[in-house]
Amino acid sequence: QVAGSGGREATAEDHARATESHHELLASVVGSKQAARDAIFYSYTKNINGFAAKLEPAVAAAIASEPVIFLHA
């Protein structure tokens, strides 16, 4: 299931939508969707909603200042 899906079984479309939201969030900080796609190496779409990415320190600091963003280095 996808986090936030209400407990129903996730579809491939649900996973794609969650991954796309990760790209959009990171693109708002790094400047482009392509840069976000290049940085993100894993999207978590089951049980939690999040992603793992390789970020420069300044980008990590910028995204960590967003509400409800948890950064683990």
**pLDDT one-digit tens code per residue, 44-55:** 888 788 899 999
Average pLDDT over residues 53-72: 81
Question: What integer pLDDT is reported at residue 54 of this predicted model?
Answer: 95
37-53 as b/e: b if 16+ CB within 10 A: eebbeebebeeeebbeb
User: In this predicted model, which residue has the larger pLDDT, 15 or 46?
Assistant: 15
Dig out the tokens for 8 from the structure.
Answer: 């129903």
> Is residue 20 pLDDT above 90, yes or no?
yes
User: In this predicted model, which residue has the larger pLDDT, 9 or 73?
Assistant: 9
- Whether 41 and 53 have beta carbons less than 8 Å apart is answered as yes
